[in-house]
Amino acid sequence: MSTEKNRRTIESYFQAVNRGDKDGILKFLTDDFVFKGMGRHPDWMRYQWGRDAFADAPRDMSTKMKKPITMNLLGMIAEGDQVAVQADSYAEMNTGKIYDNAYHFVFTFRDEKIREVLEYCCTYTVYDVFGQYIDPGRAG
């Protein structure tokens, strides 16, 4: 797959995420897809999701928000089978808090689909906004 096609796939993937479109997200993922949260603290930020849990996340998160999260694609660098992405997000939570995080993602492709995503973000922001919803014994 060309790096340009990988970049277009990422753009379409972000559109599906912003629509909360589980089927739309799943069509971009390999059957053995894995999403890894690369945060270090708190411990529950070191999570790993398969394709269904990952595709459910936008819908599940939106139940805690006034409107679904908006993920903004700010830039990409593509090389070989990987695309590095700079992004940010915005959402107004039902609690009144604002979730606005910054991200770096590394997408790895195989057979024209996304095989793996590594997510780097501000874990303090995640904890501050979502921590009250997380059961550390069930995270991951």
User: 């107004």: which residue's tokens?
Assistant: 92
Tens of pLDDT, residue by residue over 79-116, are 999 999 999 999 999 999 999 999 999 999 999 999 99
On average, the pLDDT of the chain sits at 89
101/106 Cα distance (integer angstroms): 16
- Identify whether 42 is preceded by a cis peptide bond (ω within 30 of 0): yes
Read off the DSSP letter of residue 43: G
Question: Which run of H or of E encompasses 3?
Answer: helix 3-19
Which tens digit of pLDDT belongs to each residue from 48-81? 999 999 898 888 888 889 988 899 999 999 999 9
Asked if 20 and 71 touch (Cβ cutoff 8 Å), the reply is no
Q: What are the phi and psi torsion angles at 46 (to 5°)?
A: -95, 65
Q: Is pLDDT above 60 for 136?
A: no
Residues with Cβ within 8 Å of 16's Cβ and at least 6 positions away in sequence, in order, are 24, 25, 27, 28
Identity at 60, one-letter amino acid code: D
Domains and CATH numbers, the chain: 3-132 (3.10.450.50)
Strand 29-37 to 48-49 pairing: antiparallel
